[in-house]
Amino acid sequence: MARASSLKTLLLTLAVVAALLAVSAAAGLATLIAPAPSPTPTPASVATATPGADATGAPSQAPIDRLEVRFLDVGQADAILVRIGDHAMLIDGGNNDDARGLVAYLQERGIARLDAVVGTHPHEDHIGGLDAVLAAIPVGRIYLPRASANTVTYEDLLLAIATKGIPATNPRPGDSFALGDARVTVLAPSATAVPEGNDASLVLRLDYGARSFLFTGDAEAATEAEMRTAGLLREADVLKVAHHGSTSSSTPEFLAAVAPRLAVISVGEGNDYGHPAQRTLDALAAVEATVYRTDRDGTVLVTTDGTDLATSFETTAIDGSGR
């Protein structure tokens, strides 16, 4: 059975690659700004993410739309909806059991198209609902790490990508793309190796005016250290705390470099893992971050006009796992 499943995964992967090549051949459809950065980027390679600057580093016009970032309450899982004007991006899609609720939530809020979907890494609690989203809502491009998984959940995602002919990209540090007037820059994983497990997580920085967000997936201490060593970390106003607040992430050195004003932990109430860990909460307190948790606060909404930051909460019915 394992051999048959591996063959199925390979065939689906080849189908996705074929779809990507076919779509990439059409002029003007690629949204990736920097498709081939150097394997060992320097701090200058992420200059496109400088607040208030365009892709050339020149000052840009002041934002005119209000950016909305929703850290959705999907239990012991991750899903983040970013919206600015008519543009939207979904980072992760919760568990398999969250699929129906997630699609309904997006449709109820008038999301007719997603410019980008990001599957930070191929674990079920991050990509479980993405196949349903891709089937229900048009998507401009999907971003995935180079890591793969021999699971039905991952195969379902690959099949959805191939069926819909969605362009797929494996971004590298320094790659960036626009989302309306915001800019999203990839900081990890490393371009020099194929990481596995949680350290395969795509780490994204979003800049909008003078405000910034850092989305970390489940990236662990090794990835945090790698970003610091490469000079890719800068202060960010809002941090999505990695790995549901586990002790595997959020080292004091990482938090000191990011110095978040707000920190959001996506975590299930009464989960079996003891998340978030007290050590992580203490580390966040040490950098004076205000902490919000989806198990206590529900869906956390952070909005900004590029200058101020406002926080509010929503009671949603997305979580289908009961965790």
For residue 9, being part of any structural domain is answered with no
Query: What is the tens place of the pLDDT at every residue in 213-254?
Result: 999 999 999 999 999 999 999 999 999 999 999 999 999 999
Cβ proximity of 249 and 277 under 8 Å:
no
262-265 vs 80-84, strand pairing mode: unpaired
pLDDT, one tens digit per residue, over 129-182 is 999 999 999 999 999 999 999 999 999 999 999 999 999 999 999 999 999 999
What CATH number has the domain bearing residue 283? 3.60.15.10
CB 210 within 8 A of CB 307: yes
Share of the chain above pLDDT 90, in %: 76
* Tokens 């800049």 found at: 207
Of 203, 208, 212, 217, the residue nearest 173 (C-alpha):
203
- Range list of β-strands (E), the chain: 67-71, 80-84, 87-91, 114-118, 139-143, 168-169, 176-179, 182-188, 203-208, 211-215, 238-240, 262-265, 290-293, 299-304, 310-314
Tens digit of pLDDT for each residue in 141-155?
A: 999 999 999 999 999
Q: Which residue has the tokens 């960010």?
A: 236
Q: How many whole angstroms separate alpha carbon 309 and alpha carbon 46?
A: 24
Domain limits for position 189: 67-307
Preceding omega of 51 cis (within 30 degrees of 0)? no
Residue 121's CB is within 10 A of a number of other CB atoms, namely 25
- The pLDDT tens digits of the residues spanning 78-121 come to 999 999 999 999 999 999 999 999 999 999 999 999 999 999 99
User: What confidence score (pLDDT) does residue 63 get?
Assistant: 62
Distances from the Cα of 18 to the Cα of 4, 23, 25, 171, angstroms: 21, 9, 11, 18
Helix axes 2-24, 152-164, angle to 10 degrees: 30
Distance separating the N- and C-terminal Cα atoms of the chain: 30
Task: Tell me whether residue 60 is in a domain.
Answer: no
Assess if residue 300 is contained within a domain: yes
Report yes or no on 99 lying in a domain: yes
Residue 127 lies in a domain: yes
How much is the pLDDT for 138?
A: 98
Give a yes or no: residue 10 inside a domain.
no
| Buried-exposed string 275-310: b where 16+ CB fall within 10 A, e elsewhere | bbbeebbebbeebebebbbbbebbbbbbbbbbeeee
What lies within 8 Å, CB to CB, of 244 at 6+ separation is: 76, 78, 218, 265, 266, 267, 268, 271, 273, 275, 276
Q: Would you tell me how many other CB atoms lie within 10 Å of the CB of residue 11? A: 14
Tens digits of residue pLDDT in 192-221? 776 788 999 999 999 999 999 999 999 999
Instruction: Report how many domains make up the chain.
Output: 1
Largest CA distance in the chain: 56
- Residue 263 near residue 239 (C-beta atoms within 8 A): yes
DSSP helix/strand/coil, 70: strand
Per-residue pLDDT at 2 exceeds 60: no
On whether residue 232 sits in a domain, the answer given is: yes
d(CA 20, CA 162): 8
* 51 is a domain residue: no
